Chain A
Amino acid sequence: MVLGVSMKILIIVPAYNESENIVNVISSLKNQNNLWDVLIINDYSKDNTSELAKSTNNAYVIDLPANLGIGGGVQTGFKFAKKYNYDICLQFDGDGQHIASEIPKLLNPIINNSADVVIGSRFCEKRDNFKSTFARRIGIKIFEILNSILIGQKITDNTSGFRAYNKAAFHFLSEFYPSDYPEPEAVILLGKNGFRISEVFTKMQERQGGKSSIFGLKSIYYIIKVIFAIFMTAIRRKIIKRK
């Protein structure tokens, strides 16, 4: 048996008002590997994201009855994956930013059991090929420094939502996952609880449609809230004890 072939893999796609991208995202995932199950978490979209996703007949679609934000949405995916006994979860954003052909790079370290969590990073190899807003780059730098200090491991792309988790990691996160903008906090939470995190360089696309959920005043609130949450996560006791 080839390692990893029998593993059940779930691709979790959080989507809020992504009618422009969702069909392409699903077909790109299914074209990449038909054995992967795709789960769209429709976070109470105001457009027809859900209908479009269902019309492909290629994805499970969960329609949340109220808006939870990306953290609560992705966590719904973890709960679903736990319930249906998946082996690996991969978070793949619904805005067309992530590239399906890069997924195997994230899955391989999990399949070889060399990591519990793999983050697709825009920065860990070449630095200058991804354009981002000034505020966002500053935020990313702050998280990089903070997380390096707090868990003693340099993570270059703490805000990346392109991540793969093994069973232990997503079972843990199905119970404890931060809300709102969870990615940088989740790095600390996982690092602190002894999960092995690794980063691989992945190409990402400029967003094809829609607007980032973080801009303007909201981005300042975001940085303050997440930094505070990171510190609180760091001074909390370990939730689980691992060998």
Chain B
Amino acid sequence: MFLNFTINRVQIIAIVGSLFFFFFILQLVRKRRIKEEYSLLWIFFSIIFILISVWKDGLEFIARFMGIAYSPMAFVLIIIMAVILILVQFSMVISKLTEKNKNLIQEVGILKQEIDELIKKNNLQK
């Protein structure tokens, strides 16, 4: 019942689209445009999209499992979950960067003061 091998047009589009997305992310990682650690969530969800588009009754199955009457809503839910998770990861990354950035600004400030002090002490020309 869960395996149905007849293929229709929307499924072809879904498979092609999700495969394209998967390789697009892989390519970005390969070219070092995305760091590996920040690509894992994208890769994970693109594999889920591939699975859902290949396994035709999967969405139905997931929807029934979650008690969702209208199965496309299960897909919307998965997408929203993916987006939220990735955005939370971004907030974490931004927070980490903010902290590192603050420490750098403080360190540069202190070093500049020390350099000025040394220049003054040794009567060096700036």
Contacts and interface: CB of A to CB of B under 8 A. Distances in A.
B106 to A, nearest CB: 4
Given A72-B102, A179-B102, A65 B113 contact: no
B95 to A, nearest CB: 11
B76 interface: no
A76 B106 CA distance: 5
Interface stretch (A56-64, A91-99, A235-243): A56-64
B113 A61 contact: yes
Nearest to A76: B106
A75 interface: yes
Contacts of B105: 64-66, 68, 72
Interface in B83-109: 102, 105-109
B113 A64 contact: no
B30 interface: no
B113 A62 contact: yes
A80 B108 CA distance: 12
B1 interface: no
A199 to B, nearest CB: 28
A93 to B, nearest CB: 19
B106 A83 contact: no
A80 B102 CA distance: 15
Interface string A141-179: 000000000000000000000000000000000000001
5 nearest interchain CB pairs? A76-B106, A64-B109, A62-B109, A62-B113, A65-B108
Interface of B: 102, 105-110, 112-113, 117
Given A62-B109, A64-B105, A79-B110, 16 more contacts: A41-B109, A60-B113, A61-B113, A62-B110, A62-B113, A63-B112, A64-B106, A64-B108, A65-B109, A68-B102, A68-B105, A72-B102, A79-B106, A80-B110, A80-B113, A83-B110
Interface of A: 41, 60-66, 68, 72, 75-76, 79-80, 83, 179
